[in-house]
């Protein structure tokens, strides 16, 4: 390997290395941050800070709406509402390119929980989720947004 190739590898490794930086913080805020860390089970402040940054980057990605993303939609509904199960299933089949997986759970004699994994542009995912949540007989629904993971090392 030439010296030039070796230097290139070394530079590549340096860009992937973690970088240290200092953070100044009010003592009360730091105390609350440390309590948050303990509650969530983080092993150190660095990992907690990285996760908070990632969370905000995902939210920004969703707000911009220009990258393919993922979401999970959880709904609770009464399966005895006339034709509701069929309507939900038909809608999922009609949007198979965006609703890529579902899990169905029987909660009791009347109520079901369904979790759907949605993939697509954020606006499309929101639109599909809003439609499903708005179907008569759906008691509750919640969309959780996430990213494809490519830009949040």
Can you give the pLDDT of all 153 residues of the chain as single tens digits?
A: 555 555 555 544 555 688 888 889 999 999 999 999 999 999 999 999 998 988 888 888 888 888 899 999 999 999 999 899 999 999 999 999 999 999 999 999 999 999 999 999 999 999 999 999 999 999 999 999 988 777 666
The predicted pLDDT at position 3 comes to: 56
DSSP 127: H
CA distance 39 to 123: 34
Whose tokens are 């008691």? That residue is 139
CATH code matching the domain that covers 69-147, chosen among 6.10.140.120, 3.30.70.1150, 3.40.30.10, 3.30.300.30:
3.30.70.1150
Q: Residue 129: which residues within 8 A CB-CB, separation 6 or more?
A: 71, 73, 118, 141, 143
Q: CB of 146 within 8 A of CB of 69?
A: yes
The structural domains of the chain, with segments of one domain joined by +, span 24-64, 69-147
State phi, psi for 71 to the nearest 5 degrees.
Answer: -150, 155
DSSP 71: E
DSSP bridge partners of 102: 116
The predicted pLDDT at position 5 comes to: 54
Distances (CA, A) of 49 to 2, 34, 42, 55: 40, 11, 10, 10
Tell me the residue ranges of DSSP E strands in the chain.
69-78, 99-106, 111-120, 138-147
């Amino acid at each position: 390997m030439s010296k030039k190739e070796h230097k290139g590898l070394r530079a590549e490794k340096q860009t992937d290395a973690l970088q240290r930086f200092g953070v100044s913080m009010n003592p009360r805020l730091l105390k609350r941050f440390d309590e948050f860390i303990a509650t969530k089970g983080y092993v150190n402040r660095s990992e907690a800070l990285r996760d908070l940054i990632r969370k905000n980057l995902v939210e920004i990605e969703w707000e911009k709406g220009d990258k393919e993303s993922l979401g999970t939609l959880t709904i609770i509904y009464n399966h005895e509402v006339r034709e509701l199960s069929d309507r939900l299933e038909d809608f999922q089949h009609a949007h198979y390119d965006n609703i890529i997986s579902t899990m169905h759970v029987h909660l009791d004699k009347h109520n079901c929980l369904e979790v759907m994994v949605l993939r697509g542009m954020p606006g499309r995912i929101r639109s599909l989720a809003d439609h499903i949540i708005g179907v008569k007989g759906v008691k509750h629904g919640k969309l959780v947004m996430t990213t494809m993971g490519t830009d949040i090392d």
